[in-house]
Amino acid sequence: MNRAAKSPLLAACAGTLAAISIAASAPALAQAKEQFFPMLVYRTGPYAPNGVPFADGYADYLKLVNARDGGINGVKIAFEECETGYDTARGVECYERLKGKGPTGATVFQPLSTGITFALTDKAPQDKVPLITAGYGRADSVDGEVFTWNFPLGGTYWDAADILVQHVAKIEGGFDKLKGKKIALVYHDSPYGKEPIPLLQKRAKMHGFDLLLLPVTHPGVEQSATWLQIRQQRPDFVFLWGWGVMNSTAIKQAVATGYPLEKMYGVWWSGAEPDVLPAGKDAKGYNALVFLAPAGRGKVHEDVMKYVYAKGNGTAANKEEVGEVLYNRGMVSAMMAVEAVRHAQQKYGKKPLTGEQVRWGLENFSISEAQIKKLGFEGFMEPIKTSCSNHEGAHAARIQAWDGSKWHVTSGVYQSDMKVIEPIIKQSAADYAKEKKITPRKCG
């Protein structure tokens, strides 16, 4: 090694050491009277088109609560983002990094990734931090007796799959008409995409339709084989369970294959603007589920514009993003976390709360039509009420269609059939408890 190369090398080594010591000492900083909201986000990588609007909506709502109300009953909200890239190992690292921050530790985690949810489900009980997985995560975590710390508020993939089957049955004119029909599930080959399969299989057996399972490998840009199969098999309906670039690729492939988009139904994670815009006008007629938040603006968006964007504090790079499907869903997710804290404050006092106290707030969570209206979310979500044994609180969704430039809600509210779902939840949760050697608690 020559001498010239030596000094930059030493500098690099010294720099690394300095960085390590900084990183190690950072959590020790003193904190004020604040409630700390950790944010696991993905603003880079193949899932960024969907991760960015969600994260922006989440952050903007927290900013709004600080700017408009001065925090939650006077307790300011502090938050910090950590980039996961939708990668489980990085998500776990982010969780470890953020769980102890703030004067009382992390309030609640919302990883927006089913893979990360699976990993955190094991860690949350030890660290006493609740997880909200609104519309994703483990479907069996509805069972609060086994999954004490998980809250799949508002819906799970089993609800989504059930509602889609109900919807196509309605189109066909009844469940008995589904006999002999063929439904293809094009899914992301990960825990996320595989979640709906048990329910669809059960429904297939009940009504006698054929279920065609077509997995797509991460990240989902290569789907020609999948769509070749669809061309050969000609399913009557296609359910799309994709995320990130996989959605837009699937819609483009469907257009290229000549599959009628009117017969294609996406789950609620396959029904946002970034999914359909790449296919542009051709995507017209494509349908997707909508739960919690459709696109559009309401009273709360006016507030966001007034209190956050007008002051130049907005998170989104482009104001147009405010009111997009995923932006709104991020806002609703943040709102539910904030309301859970507010709820828990009634019991524990108006001060920064620990994750364990917030968990109580989530387990006794209730948001009525009137409150939704008061918060400015009218039309953006259904009422939710949780209990010790039911951590989901609601299982309703609607169907929306893309008209080439906008999403329109096209159906009434569907309720998933708990008679069908409940037994699978109980079975799956019991299996989990056995595997992890958990003794389920008894709910009153």
Partner 1 sequence: MLYRENGQFKTSYRKDEALLPIAQDRYFILALLAFAFLAVPFLASDYLFLSILNPFLIMALAAVGLNLLVGYCGQISIGHAAFMSVGAYAAYNLMLRVPSLSFLVALVLAGLIAAVVGMLFGIPSLRIKGLYLAVATLAAQFFMDWLFARVKWFTNYAPSGSVSTATLDIFGWRLDSPASKYLFLLAVVTVFTLLARNLVRGHIGRAWMAIRDMDVAAEVIGIRPVYAKLTAFAVSSFYVGVAGALWGFVYLGAWEPLAFNITLSLSLLFMIIIGGMGSITGSFFGAFFIIALPIVLDQVPAALGAPLSTATASHVASMVFGALIVFFLIVEPHGLARLWAIGKEKLRLWPFPH
Instruction: Give contact residues for partner 1 (rule: CB under 8 A).
Output: 1, 5, 8-9, 12, 16, 19-20, 22-24, 26-27, 41, 43-44, 48, 52, 55, 80-83, 85, 88-89, 92-93, 96-97, 100, 114-115, 118-119, 121-123, 126, 138, 189-192, 194-195, 197-198, 215, 218, 428, 432, 435-437
Q: What whole-number distance in Å separates Cα of residue 326 and Cα of residue 374?
A: 22
Residue 221 CB, nearest approach to partner 1 (Å): 15
Smaller CB distance to partner 1: residue 138 or 398?
138
Smaller CB distance to partner 1: residue 123 or 128?
123
Contact 159, 141 (CB under 8 A): no
Q: Angle 114-127/88-98 helices, nearest 10 degrees?
A: 30
Residue 357 CB, nearest approach to partner 1 (Å): 21
Smaller CB distance to partner 1: residue 159 or 382?
159
Residue 136 CB, nearest approach to partner 1 (Å): 11
Count Cβ neighbours within 10 Å for each residue of 68-88 and write b for 16 or more, e otherwise.
eeebbeebebbbebbbbbbbb
Smaller CB distance to partner 1: residue 187 or 365?
187
Residue 54 CB, nearest approach to partner 1 (Å): 13
Residue 209 CB, nearest approach to partner 1 (Å): 19
> What is the CB-side half-sphere exposure of residue 356 using CA atoms within 13 A?
5
Tell which phi-psi region holds residue 135, choosing left (phi > 0), alpha (psi between -120 and 50) or beta: left
Smaller CB distance to partner 1: residue 98 or 340?
98
Residue 314 CB, nearest approach to partner 1 (Å): 12
C-alpha separations of 243 from 192, 194, 297 in Å: 9, 13, 24
Contact 40, 34 (CB under 8 A): no
Residue 431 CA to its chain's centroid (Å): 24
Q: What whole-number distance in Å separates Cα of residue 280 and Cα of residue 273?
A: 10
Q: Return the closest-CA partner of residue 251 out of 270, 236, 237.
A: 270
Smaller CB distance to partner 1: residue 316 or 332?
316
Q: What whole-number distance in Å separates Cα of residue 155 and Cα of residue 161?
A: 11
Residue 115 CB, nearest approach to partner 1 (Å): 6
How is residue 390 written in tokens? Answer: 């039911």
> What is the CB-side half-sphere exposure of residue 66 using CA atoms within 13 A?
18
Residue 426 CB, nearest approach to partner 1 (Å): 14
Adjacent-strand bridge partners of 288: 266, 400
**Total Cβ atoms within 10 A of residue 160:** 28
Smaller CB distance to partner 1: residue 122 or 320?
122
Smaller CB distance to partner 1: residue 100 or 383?
100
Residue 249 CB, nearest approach to partner 1 (Å): 18
Smaller CB distance to partner 1: residue 91 or 271?
91
